Structure formats: C-alpha cells, structure tokens
Chains A and B, each alone.
Chain A
C-alpha cells in the first residue's frame, strides 16, 4: 500500500537547498542537505536549524487539565510552573512507553504536549480514551510549523533576528505575539547544545526559516539530528523506546515521579523498581577502527554469546568513533565490560561506557 506522504510547510525550501528528502513517520523530510558530518559539527560549534514541523502539538486545557495529566504522564505536573517545560512519558498500563514528549505549561489550565510525529494519532486516541469532564483536548498538529535552532550561537541569533528579544531560561517557554502572529519559543532541544524550538502558524514558517538562514544558521537534516541526540544518549521512540520497555529499563527514571500518586503504568513501574530491571539500555562505544554500528546488529559477550541487539547506532562525528545503544542484561554487563558487535559475520571490539557519550 502506498502512502501519501505529508509535506512540511518548508518543503519547497528544502528542495531549493538541495535537501535529500526521505519518508519519515509519514512525512517527507530532509535527511541531509550536503553532509551529515558538517551539519552535525555546525550544531556543536556554531548553530544549525532543523525543520520539526512533522512533530505533533496537542493542546490540553480546562480546570481539570493539570490533575488529569498528572494521572496520564510520568513526570510531576503539579511542580511544573506556567512558562516551563519538562520531558515526560505516556505509558501503557504495563509501564511500557507509548510516547516520550515535552510537556509545556503555558498557563495554570493550559498545556501543550509536543509529541513524536509517528505517534500523533496513537497518542490522541489514547488521551481521548481517558478523557474526563473539565478537560479539553485539541490536536493542533496540522496548524503548526516548528523549527529547532540549536548550537552555542542560538541565543544571540534569536536576539538578532527578533530585534532584541531574549530567550526564556532553560526549559522555559514564551507564548508571544510577534509582529501580530502567535509564536511559541521554548528553550528545549534534542541535541545537547543550547538552543530553542520555535513553533509558529504554518503560514509563517517560511519567513522564520529564511530569517535564520540569512543569519547564517546551517540547515540540518534528520541524519544530523539522529547523530546529535545519540551522542547525548537521548532515546528515539520506536528504536530505543517501545511499548514493551519501561522508562526505568531505558535508564530514564529521573523523569518518572513514582512518589506523586497513581498514574497509568505506575503500579507496573513501582513493582519493577522494587524487583529491579533485568535489562537496561546501555551505551556502547566501538574501540577499533571499524564499520559504523547500526540498529539491529548483535551484541556478543567475550565468549561470543548473544547479549542483545543494537537499538540505535552511528558514527559519532564529534568523537569520530562508533557509538550505539542496546538493552543488555544487568547481571552480565556493567561499565567497561568488553563486548563485540557482529557486523556482516565479523566481530568488532567495543565496550560498555557511561552515558552520555558526549559532554559539552
């Protein structure tokens, strides 16, 4: 069955720049323009911009919104002040991950959920299933365009192109009118660098994109987005997270507030926390000059016995070595354990390392 891919409001801009467009989560999006490595380095050293218009925006509002979200999401909503954002999970009743998302609190009774493109319909269906009186749910995904502007120069570039505005503080969100148009500016990102994510009505996308390019921000594709997030060990849902893995197994218990009271999946997580996880998502670094690791490759112990399968893998453009993630048994593997990766019948030497791979 052929699927009609959705096009970003910036589609023509990507084509004009020679972007390599690929299907991604039902959208046609640029994987790169000229070079993933150069795009990656621009974000680490100066500034890059990513089209994130494919991501979903779900608005939750109403007098019961905060209390309701508290029962749906893992992180503590009550302690999230208006104008701030945090990373959180939506779990199934078994404690597995439906989606990982950023929750932005725009007001006491107004929230924005920024969700993965591939999960928009599933997330909305899940939320509707649990909907209560006093909460309103609006999927505004098709109305918004988004751009992530990331890198050490992001803050000064924002000030320059908005004629004097300053970014909110880390994890802060500003809900603005800029030149008469709604604008959400959030100091969040998926690269490990300073930067922000900007959301505007779709018909405003091109003017913002062009303004950043005129300020010499480098356009970056999904390829660099993936290598940047992997250097930080930020998980990718559908690869490193799944409905059969919990945030505890993924090593992301920091974003699970088990003490806040019941939420969907909390019983399962409390049990898992008490009993301990048998496997955890671990970081593995290749220690020889070898082919870049890729999802699906087998991880073997020193005797050649299987330990797990890579969920993510890439060459790290910053560290110039292979980096990857896999769920591995905690009783057989710890930091510094030597392992090997099986690549086309050959074994390449690697070891388990502390997360993240890259520190600013």
Chain B
C-alpha cells in the first residue's frame, strides 16, 4: 500500500492534495485495493459543499461507495476522464485517478486530516 507523504488523509480513505486554496481529492491506494475493479464513477455537481457531505460515488462490480467531502468549500472541477476510464482509480489513484477539486473556504479544517504515517497506521 502506497501513501505519499505530501498528502492529507481521512478515515474514509480519501486523500487530499492542498495547493494554495485548491484541494484535489481522490481515494487511497488502500481503498482502490479494497474495492477492486472500479467500473463507474458518479461525479459530483459543481457548487458549494459542506465537510462530510456525500459527493461522488465510486462503484466496483460488487458495491457502490460514497465519497464524502473531506473539507468545506466549492467544487470547481471534476475529473471527466473517469467517465470513459474509471479504472484510472485502480491504476493511478494519486494522480490521473483524482476525482474532484474543491476551492477551500475553511483552510483550518485541514488540521482535522491525517498525515501519511497516521493513515498508514490505521489501515495496516
């Protein structure tokens, strides 16, 4: 299981890359391994979102999993490449498998997230 050290993590197995006020969000390598073959991603609508609200849905052959907003803000971009190739979440979870971007309105909430070593500890 890979967990890059420059990212933040949630207990729900999302990763967050914060660059300025823009947070890019996806699911972790551990999560994609657990889900196995991702066959469909329902992307969220643009607009304001509260921390903890359901946004995207990632579907494997067996089950649908909700992805929650890890931080409050405005959804400004979604990864439309996942519409034609949802398996990017399996093959490249931390890069081309990103799911959506939030313009963060509550940067202090980043402190509620875990670092790579804490996340690795809860999944191992």
Residues of chain A having any CB pair with chain B under 8 Å: 20, 31-32, 34-37, 223, 227, 289-292, 294, 314-315, 317, 344
Q: Which 5 A-B pairs have the closest CB atoms?
A: A36-B61, A37-B37, A291-B40, A315-B39, A35-B37
User: In the complex, what's the smallest C-beta–C-beta distance from B41 to chain A, in angstroms?
Assistant: 9
Q: Which residues of A contact B39 (CB under 8 A)?
A: 37, 292, 315
Q: Which residues of B contact A294 (CB under 8 A)?
A: 64
Contacts A37-B61, A227-B61, A315-B61: A292 and B40 contacting too (C-beta < 8 A)? yes
Q: Which of B36, B37, B59, B62 has the most CB of A within 10 A?
A: B62
Residues of chain B having any CB pair with chain A under 8 Å: 36-37, 39-40, 42, 57, 59-62, 64, 83
Contacts A223-B62, A292-B59, A344-B57 known; 5 new A-B pairs at CB < 8 A: A36-B36, A36-B37, A36-B60, A291-B57, A344-B42
Q: Which residues of A contact B57 (CB under 8 A)?
A: 291, 344
User: In the complex, what's the smallest C-beta–C-beta distance from A224 to chain B, in angstroms?
Assistant: 9
- Complex Cα distance A314/B37, Å? 13
Q: Which residues of B contact A290 (CB under 8 A)?
A: 40
Q: Which residues of A contact B60 (CB under 8 A)?
A: 36
User: In the complex, what's the smallest C-beta–C-beta distance from B57 to chain A, in angstroms?
Assistant: 7
Interface pair A31/B59, CB less than 8 Å apart = no
Q: Which residues of B contact A317 (CB under 8 A)?
A: 61
- Complex Cα distance A292/B37, Å? 12
- Complex Cα distance A31/B36, Å? 11
Interface pair A36/B62, CB less than 8 Å apart = yes
In the complex, the chain B residue whose C-beta lies closest to that of A32 is B36
- Complex Cα distance A227/B39, Å? 14
- Complex Cα distance A34/B40, Å? 18
Interface pair A314/B61, CB less than 8 Å apart = yes
Q: Which residues of A contact B59 (CB under 8 A)?
A: 291-292
Contact pick for B36, options A35, A227, A291, A292, CB 8 Å: A35
Q: Which of A20, A34, A289, A291 has the most CB of B within 10 A?
A: A291
Interface pair B61/A289, CB less than 8 Å apart = no
In the complex, the chain A residue whose C-beta lies closest to that of B39 is A315
Q: Which residues of B contact A20 (CB under 8 A)?
A: 36
User: In the complex, what's the smallest C-beta–C-beta distance from A342 to chain B, in angstroms?
Assistant: 14
Interface pair A31/B62, CB less than 8 Å apart = yes
- Complex Cα distance A31/B63, Å? 12
- Complex Cα distance A290/B57, Å? 12
In the complex, the chain B residue whose C-beta lies closest to that of A223 is B62
- Complex Cα distance A315/B40, Å? 10
User: In the complex, what's the smallest C-beta–C-beta distance from A17 to chain B, in angstroms?
Assistant: 14
Q: Which residues of A contact B61 (CB under 8 A)?
A: 36-37, 223, 227, 292, 314-315, 317
- A selection of 16 A-B contacts at a CB cut-off of 8 Å is A20-B36, A32-B62, A34-B36, A35-B37, A36-B36, A36-B37, A37-B37, A223-B62, A289-B40, A289-B83, A291-B40, A291-B64, A292-B39, A292-B59, A315-B61, A344-B42
Q: Which residues of B contact A32 (CB under 8 A)?
A: 36, 62
User: In the complex, what's the smallest C-beta–C-beta distance from A237 to chain B, in angstroms?
Assistant: 19
- Complex Cα distance A20/B61, Å? 14
In the complex, the chain A residue whose C-beta lies closest to that of B40 is A291
- Complex Cα distance A36/B61, Å? 7
Q: Which residues of A contact B62 (CB under 8 A)?
A: 31-32, 36, 223
User: In the complex, what's the smallest C-beta–C-beta distance from B66 to chain A, in angstroms?
Assistant: 10
- Complex Cα distance A36/B38, Å? 10
- Complex Cα distance A292/B62, Å? 9
- Complex Cα distance A314/B59, Å? 11
- Complex Cα distance A291/B61, Å? 10
- Complex Cα distance A31/B61, Å? 11
In the complex, the chain B residue whose C-beta lies closest to that of A289 is B83
User: In the complex, what's the smallest C-beta–C-beta distance from B65 to chain A, in angstroms?
Assistant: 12
Q: Which residues of A contact B83 (CB under 8 A)?
A: 289
User: In the complex, what's the smallest C-beta–C-beta distance from A325 to chain B, in angstroms?
Assistant: 16
User: In the complex, what's the smallest C-beta–C-beta distance from A337 to chain B, in angstroms?
Assistant: 24
- Complex Cα distance A222/B64, Å? 17
Q: Which residues of A contact B37 (CB under 8 A)?
A: 35-37
In the complex, the chain B residue whose C-beta lies closest to that of A31 is B62
User: In the complex, what's the smallest C-beta–C-beta distance from B85 to chain A, in angstroms?
Assistant: 11
- Complex Cα distance A36/B57, Å? 19
